[in-house]
Structure 1
Amino acid sequence: MDTLQLMIFLGITGLVALITYFKCRGSVHTGNTNREYFLAGKGLSWIFIAGSLTLTNISTDTLVGLNGAQTSLVALWELTAVVGMLVLAKVLLPIYYRYKCTTTTELLEKRYNNPNIRTTISLMFLLGNLFIYLPILLFTGSLFMTSLFDIQVPQYLIAVIIAVVGGSYAIFGGLRAVAVSDTFNGIGLLIMGLLVTYLSLAAINFDFSGIPADKLTLIGSNDSDIPWHTLLTGMFFIQIFYWGTNQNITQRALAGKSLKEAQKGVYATAIIRLLIVPPVVVIPGIVAFKLFGDIGDLSYGTIVREVLPTWLSGAFAAVMLGTILSTYNSILNASAALYVCDLHEKHINPNVNVRRISVIISILMVLISLVVLPMYMNAQGIMALMQQLNGLLSMPILSAFITGLLFRNIDGRSIVIAVLFGIGLYALFTWVWTPLHYIHLMFITLCLSVTFALTINKMLFNQKAEFIGLSLLNKEKTETAGES
């Protein structure tokens, strides 16, 4: 960068930090330290919920990973996400609010009346964050920044800077600081992302000729990354897990002023996801294929460097750094919430100083993610790799939620056993025997995990499960109408 670009970069980055500081400094504290630190005092409006949800989900792992596939098929991840958001808003949020949950796993404890299931699932979420989400985000973020500006420093050093700065928001500001900074950075991301998409199209004169048909279709063949028939099995359940039960995402919706405010935030996120995000994560990668060939995960950084005017590169760098920091600090804050609420207070000290222990655990997680990072430095096709690794935890965990919400008279121990069974089954599918596409195998893992839980519940613990469907949701609607 030249001096002007650097000044713009530092100016925008500093301005967001300053606005976040003043916005959070005057906030009213509830006195409930868990809810204040991890749920922003239950005071987020729908605007901040939508902003935080959008930017927590869209970061360099998305922009680099999806554009790196250099095919329009990956838009299906974004389009099907709308289903996951609708399930969160219409089905799961009313139940979370009824049970007054700080973490999604708290619902499992209350449904099964068993703290061990909450502990088990929290540990799995934490392991996923430490060994999948955080290091992959550092990898894609540092890769993007080095490829965009051709920075002549080790990629690992850029990752360290991202980890330290991103961790600061989560450590010192809690969820309120995360949500506020997310919203302002999110506005910049959408504007700059759309600008890059338009300039990419202009670079090829809006002409897609010469690009193979399989790069432009939304109907994947059997040997493509996303075969069309995966939409009939695991794709939608992946989205339900991610948007509806994953603490990293759902925590923002749990922090709303009210249930209706939270639902409005999720609906706004769905509209953004449906109308704006797909072209941003697809078109630059396809254009990069036409201009530069099969360059994989280098696509987005390369196309941005080529099409974006030099005077805008500082602003774009600031926005992109904001997205990286946003997702990183969001995962850290959610991980701290899981540890403090589900593990430390439950099994070590119920009267812990929330802020102090959160700072300590967040620093430890930053260090661990940096230690794990080298494992991903030479990975190819990072988005597909991340989805496959997610399958180890996502479907077994989702089976615990599905069983707990659709059935009653379930012994919590059967769920713990079934979740461990699901992890082992998917590990078998991934590394030993892979008869089908991994998205099909995720669906099979989900179905067999639920079946295994019901079977163990009956045979080992002598309890017959009773199917109740969505009666929990109906009860919530009845109670809400009575209060009105």
Structure 2
Amino acid sequence: MFADTAQFGSTLQVAIFIGLTALVGVLTWAKVRTQTRQARSDGGSQQDVYLAGKGLSWVFVAGAITLTNLSTDQLVGMNGNQMLLLAWWEIAGFAGLTILAFIFVPLYYRYNCTTVTQLLERRYNGRSIRTLISALFLLGNVFIYLPAALYSGGLFLQSLFGGSIPLIGFSILLAIIGAAYTVFGGLRAVAVMDTYSGIGVLGLALLIVFLALQAVDFDIVTNVPAERLTMVGRSDSPIPFHTLFTGMLFIQIFYWSTNQNITQRAMAAPTVQEARKGVMTAAIIRILVIPPIVVVPGVVAYKLFGDVGDSAYGMLVAQVMPGWLAGAFAAMVAAAVITTFSAVLNSTVALYSVDFHEQFVGKVTNHWKLGAVVSAIVTVTSVMLVPMYQNAESIINLLQQLNGLLSMPILSAFVAGLLFRNVDARAAIAGVIWGVGLYGVFSFWWQPAGLVALHYIDFMVVTLVTSIMAALAFNRVVLGQRATFLGLSAFRRASADGGPDNPEALTAGSAAQSAAQSAPAAD
């Protein structure tokens, strides 16, 4: 680490860091305390705890979606690749958010969903598919998203403040603060903190881009290999160019449109129109603001320090940012980690409480109390898993590859349920199991000798298509039911309005099942 890094460990920097972190918490509590007290006095319903009482305006929806996604996974992980090519992950996110706004949001509102898995249950008229997909989301959150956020956040703070404090120490601090927001304020507090923190995070991140470019006289081309500057990836790069037209789109649809961690924020608005405004605002931020802050500092760090991997962002900040401002930036980055952690934690609690506890244990009389217990268990587990990520060559590439185990199989259940009628829930489960097994074998165990290995983004398309085919084949051959293709009629009817309705095209299953589903199920 560089000599002037020591200034970041000064008493002044620590004081600024602690002060701003506390200020965000105080401002958040001042904003939500009245509604939170009322919600707690009313007994802690699903809607109060997990959907902020359906009271988020479009501003807070946009802020919550932006900061739930933007964390050190992006700031550290993407800049850690030290190439411009990684910006495609963020640019392509615009398409995923647009699909969420105009296709999936109306469906979630029409079916009165608290969790995305409720949509599957009501489309398939079967509880089993809901339970399976919820379990996969829970496993992904506990073993992938939460510990990875704590690891990348801890790594950044350690790079910024120096190595005297172990990475796990920073991770524990971030986890405790993040859990506190979920336990005491629910989604309402998380969304408000996201928005307040987002202003500071985006502003200071853009400042880092400017200072980084200034440090190299606005020349990032000289002495930087062409492969780190191109936006057209080769076949052996992290994002080969052709994959933008294969698996990339489906990855974005899964992440932005069917992922509980993101969609829960959109479902917390009072109306479809308000949710759509928030989602599209987040989409505009995604394509205009996010790409430069997640790749330019990494390329500049390559020019200054060489290939330093995931340490690039922290080292660059320590080099170019004025000492008095470093504590402020550390506080904002910590806030981004905290909001991501608390948001995913809140979604995890929602999935367990709504999809498992009420089904297999008993009715929840107070979701605040249950949420506190589950939050504590999940937080401890996530901290214990942080060391698992310390040997990763690239945290962002590892995350994307691990996500493939769940993303395409889960998306196949949504596609089969929304585009076809008369598909049994058991058939959807068969498709999901096929997809998880296929992707796991291909990516982590065995690839046929003599065959050209597909890039994992390409193989996600193979996984998605064959999972849908497996579900339809199981439905026809084993269960003796013939699926009927609906096309886009379900989406068109749902987009017409967000209120309860029951056109036949909107319901999977038989005509008799459609009649039984004439009103959204009450939670």
TM bucket by the smaller chain? over 0.9
Which stretches in structure 2 are left out of the alignment for 5+ residues? 1-8, 448-452, 502-523
Q: Pairwise mapping of residues 33-432 of structure 1 onto structure 2 (< 5 A)?
A: 33-208=45-220, 209-432=222-445
d(CA) in 1 for partners of 2:188 and 2:66? 15
* 1:203 and 1:307 in contact (8 A); partners too: yes
1:133 Cα deviation after fit: 0.7
1:465 Cα deviation after fit: 0.6
1:352 Cα deviation after fit: 3.7
d(CA) in 1 for partners of 2:180 and 2:499? 43
SS of corresponding position for 1:218: coil
* 1:162 and 1:325 in contact (8 A); partners too: yes
1:480 Cα deviation after fit: 5.9
Name which of 432, 445, 450 aligns with 2:463: 445
Q: What is the match of residue 510 of structure 2?
A: none
SS of corresponding position for 2:363: coil
What does the per-residue CA deviation read over 1:53-97, in whole Å, with 9 as the maximum and x for residues that have no partner? 111100011110000000011000000010100110010000110
What does the per-residue CA deviation read over 1:357-396, in whole Å, with 9 as the maximum and x for residues that have no partner? 1111111001111222221122111111111000000000
SS of corresponding position for 2:76: helix
Question: 1:3 aligned to 2:15?
Answer: no
d(CA) in 1 for partners of 2:285 and 2:409? 29
* 1:345 and 1:352 in contact (8 A); partners too: no
SS of corresponding position for 1:433: coil
* 2:151 and 2:390 in contact (8 A); partners too: yes
With over 3 angstroms needed to count, the CA separation of the structure-2 counterparts of 1:481 and 1:46, relative to structure 1, is closer
d(CA) in 2 for partners of 1:469 and 1:346? 33
Q: Pairwise mapping of residues 461-472 of structure 1 onto structure 2 (< 5 A)?
A: 461-472=479-490
SS of corresponding position for 1:26: helix
Q: What is the match of residue 520 of structure 2?
A: none
What does the per-residue CA deviation read over 1:392-435, in whole Å, with 9 as the maximum and x for residues that have no partner? 00000000001111111010001111101110000011122342
d(CA) in 2 for partners of 1:227 and 1:281? 18
SS of corresponding position for 1:222: coil
d(CA) in 1 for partners of 2:266 and 2:175? 25
1:353 Cα deviation after fit: 2.2
* 1:52 and 1:179 in contact (8 A); partners too: yes
Name which of 439, 442, 460 aligns with 2:478: 460
In the alignment, residue 365 of structure 1 is paired with which amino acid? V
Which stretches in structure 1 are left out of the alignment for 5+ residues? none
SS of corresponding position for 1:44: coil
SS of corresponding position for 1:27: helix
SS of corresponding position for 1:447: helix
With over 3 angstroms needed to count, the CA separation of the structure-2 counterparts of 1:482 and 1:123, relative to structure 1, is closer
Overall identity of the aligned pairs, in %: 50
1:481 Cα deviation after fit: 10
With over 3 angstroms needed to count, the CA separation of the structure-2 counterparts of 1:9 and 1:468, relative to structure 1, is same
Q: What is the match of residue 14 of structure 1?
A: 22
Name which of 28, 31, 38 aligns with 1:23: 31
What does the per-residue CA deviation read over 1:461-484, in whole Å, with 9 as the maximum and x for residues that have no partner? 11111111221222234456999x
TM-score (norm 2): 0.90
SS of corresponding position for 2:423: coil
With over 3 angstroms needed to count, the CA separation of the structure-2 counterparts of 1:480 and 1:77, relative to structure 1, is closer
1:164 Cα deviation after fit: 1.1
d(CA) in 1 for partners of 2:493 and 2:283? 26
- The number of residue pairs the alignment matches comes to 483
d(CA) in 2 for partners of 1:216 and 1:13? 35
With over 3 angstroms needed to count, the CA separation of the structure-2 counterparts of 1:196 and 1:39, relative to structure 1, is same
1:19 Cα deviation after fit: 1.0
TM-score (norm 1): 0.98
What does the per-residue CA deviation read over 1:288-328, in whole Å, with 9 as the maximum and x for residues that have no partner? 00010000000000000000000101110110110010000
* 1:39 and 1:254 in contact (8 A); partners too: yes
Which shows bigger deviation, 282-291 or 340-349? 340-349
d(CA) in 2 for partners of 1:276 and 1:478? 31
* 2:50 and 2:347 in contact (8 A); partners too: yes
d(CA) in 2 for partners of 1:111 and 1:480? 16
1:189 Cα deviation after fit: 0.4
d(CA) in 1 for partners of 2:88 and 2:103? 23
Which shows bigger deviation, 429-438 or 86-95? 429-438
* 1:80 and 1:236 in contact (8 A); partners too: yes
1:337 Cα deviation after fit: 0.3
With over 3 angstroms needed to count, the CA separation of the structure-2 counterparts of 1:351 and 1:152, relative to structure 1, is closer
d(CA) in 1 for partners of 2:500 and 2:115? 26
SS of corresponding position for 1:383: helix
Name which of 457, 474, 480 aligns with 2:492: 474
What does the per-residue CA deviation read over 1:218-275, in whole Å, with 9 as the maximum and x for residues that have no partner? 1001111110111121001001000001101110001012110100001000110111
d(CA) in 2 for partners of 1:169 and 1:236? 33
d(CA) in 1 for partners of 2:95 and 2:288? 14
